[in-house]
Amino acid sequence: MYLPTQFNETRVDVLHALMRARPLCTLVTTVESGLLADHLPVETSHEPAPFGSIRGHIARANPLWRGYRAGTPSLAIFQGPQVYISPSFYPSKARTGEVVPTWDYAVVHASGTLRFIDDCEWLRSLVAGLTRSHEMPRAEPWKIDDAPATYIDKMLKLIVGFEFSIASLSGKWKVSQNRAAEDRQGVIQNLRGAADADSRAIADMLASLELSGPVAP
């Protein structure tokens, strides 16, 4: 992806945090028939260093696991918060009028290779872990043991697991840090006053960059 220096986020822990917070990735692969794009919830691990790995599963009926060639590069895209930025957010608009709309967003690209796993116990462990993670906030979390064992066994036979070994990670944090200081503050104030969670998340990202040191002239 096009990645200007000022938008480049390289800290692995920060990239993993977004991947965990937004676990539905777009997995792009190449098979004999061409490009495939699948949208899959995944689990992100720090191991192995330095970039870690992701794990998930696909439907057994999905042609990906039979058509994928071992070692072929793949791309997992994690979309973070995103929001429209109005020129009216910028104090400089009143002075010069030389402003245009833009879009702020954060995204992570993980490049690597896939390994498919057709093993019932491995899949059971994966599904149990994914379920625990996403049910945790609920007052009465659902567990796979809440369903009849025979039913879970039947459902596990309908999926195939995968492990994605991450060879490289890149993050693009385009959150108005290329604007002048007064305009950055205008963006933060306007987004924090918005009703949607993505606006507030982008405001927090920009404010965090402000605290970490000079961002732009």
List the chain pLDDT tens, one digit each, 217 residues.
999 999 999 999 999 999 999 999 999 998 888 899 999 999 999 999 999 999 999 999 999 999 998 889 999 999 999 999 999 999 987 788 778 999 999 999 999 999 999 999 999 999 999 999 999 999 999 999 999 999 999 999 999 999 999 999 999 999 999 999 999 999 999 999 999 999 999 999 999 987 765 444 3
> Cβ contacts of residue 114 below 8 Å, gap of 6+?
29, 68, 72, 74, 162, 163, 164
- Output the pLDDT for position 33: 82
Cβ neighbour number for residue 80 with a 10 Å cutoff? 22
Rounded-to-integer distance, Cα 106 and Cα 7, Å: 9
What lies within 8 Å, CB to CB, of 23 at 6+ separation is 41, 42, 43, 44, 78
Confidence (pTM): 0.92
* Angle separating helix axes 181-192 and 197-212, nearest 10 degrees: 150
DSSP, collapsed to helix, strand or coil, labels residue 174 as strand
Confidence (pLDDT) at 212: 63
**In the chain, where the domains are located:** 5-179
The residue assigned the tokens 């995103």 is: 82
pLDDT of the residue at 139: 95
User: What does the angle CA 203 – CA 209 – CA 210 come to, to the nearest 5 degrees?
Assistant: 85
Predicted local distance difference test score (pLDDT) of residue 57:
98
Q: Tell me how far CA of residue 200 lies from CA of 68, 80, 93, in angstroms.
A: 39, 12, 22
- Asked if residues 82 and 104 have their Cβ atoms less than 8 Å apart, the reply is yes
State residue 216's pLDDT score.
Answer: 42
Question: What integer pLDDT is reported at residue 93 of this predicted model?
Answer: 75
What architecture (CATH level 2) is domain 5-179?
Answer: Roll (2.30)
